Every structure is written in C-alpha cells, then in structure tokens.
Structure 1
C-alpha cells in the first residue's frame, strides 16, 4: 500500500492526496500563491493543455489516444495536473469534491430523468 492508498483497497485516498499536495506547497512556501483565483486560473491552463493534445485529432484518433505510450503519458500527466489543481482549489475553499459531485449527480438525475 502506498501512502496515498486507503486501508485494504489499493485505491488512492482523496484526502491523503490533498494532504500531500498541501505539504508539497508548504515545503516550497507556495501557500501565498494558492489563492482561489490563482488555482482556478492554473486549473484552466492545465485543462487547456489537455485539450491541446486532442485539438486536431479526428473523433476516431481521439478514441485511440491511449494506444501510443508517448501520447498516453502526456494525457495522464495533464489529467494529473488538472486533478491536482482541482483538489488544491477545493482544499482552499473547503469543498469536499466527492460530496459536491454526488450532489450534482443527484440534481442532474432530477433535471434529466431517464426515459
């Protein structure tokens, strides 16, 4: 089990990952820069870098993007960057990301009922 995994399941724990990100930033004295605005901007930049990988691909090519290791590595890195900034953003504002997502799914199920 790595230090990010929950007990007994081998799945990374969101709270532990957030704690590691906070400790990483603190060790580098980055907290003054980790304002909600700055983190939202950084999140947008990283999401744009993810989009850039797919920019000129056809739908078929985009569906196979993980087949080539060099491209797959770039996608994984950008996904990690997006998630890292999102988790840091949530930490700074006191948002539980999983609860927010669950509540949003609940609202969407009411808004868009299955036929």
Structure 2
C-alpha cells in the first residue's frame, strides 16, 4: 500500500478487520484508544529526547532510527484510525472541518513564518 494509491476508507477497513479478527473491539473504548495514542506519542517523543531541533531534522538520514520512528508513527495513526472507527467518525470530513477552522484562526497574511498562537497574531 502506498499513499498515492490507497483510499482512507481502505485503511480504516483494514484496521477494523485486524481488530475484529482478534476480538479486540471489546477493549477499544474511546478512553482506552485515547490513552494508547498518548502512550505511543510518548514513545515517539523518546526518539528525540534531549536532541537539538537541527539534529531531529537529520534523523531521516539514519535508516535504523527512522525505521523505529516510523513504527511509532504508524502505531499512533493506527490507534487514531481505530478511534475513528469506534466513534463512527468520518476522518476526511473531520480533517477538512478542522483545516477550515485552522485557516480562519491562522490567516496566511498574519501567520506566515510565525509560530505564535492564534490569539497573539
């Protein structure tokens, strides 16, 4: 599977089928899935602990490190997709709404090149 040839719905269905085959839906409450997302996010953060920002950009050049980082990212995304499955959330629609909301909060003419919170623009 590659991004340019896969639909989000296909991925959602694969994640759901994986959980169903193992009878894991019983454990996949929104509470548990949100906690799993947080735990996996912490594992992703560990790869960058005490690292300078510039060094974190270079990590993609290290095949062993980036492979481990990609595994953590995949865990986060899989749990997020399963969260969407368990809460009957249309991810594409939800992301589109959030992007529109963010565009209003962070207009290009005020936010371009700045990392300030929207309340400080």
| Structure 1 residues 23-66: Cα deviation after superposition (integer angstroms, max 9, x where no partner) | 11111111100111111100111111111111121111101111
Higher mean C-alpha deviation, range 31-40 or range 101-110: 101-110
Give the equivalent residue in structure 2 for 1:65. Answer: 59
- Any runs of at least 4 consecutive aligned residues in structure 1 with deviations exceeding 3 A, and if so which? none
Q: How many residue pairs end up in the alignment?
A: 109
Q: Secondary structure at the match of 1:19?
A: helix
Distance in 1, matches of 2:48 and 2:30, equals 28
Query: Which fold has the larger relative contact order, with Cα–Cα distance below 8 Å and residues 6 or more apart in sequence?
Result: 2
Structure 2: runs of 5+ lacking an equivalent: 110-121
Structure 1: runs of 5+ lacking an equivalent: none
Q: Secondary structure at the match of 2:6?
A: coil
Residue 70 of structure 2 is aligned with which of 48, 73, 76?
A: 76
Give the equivalent residue in structure 2 for 1:50. Answer: 44
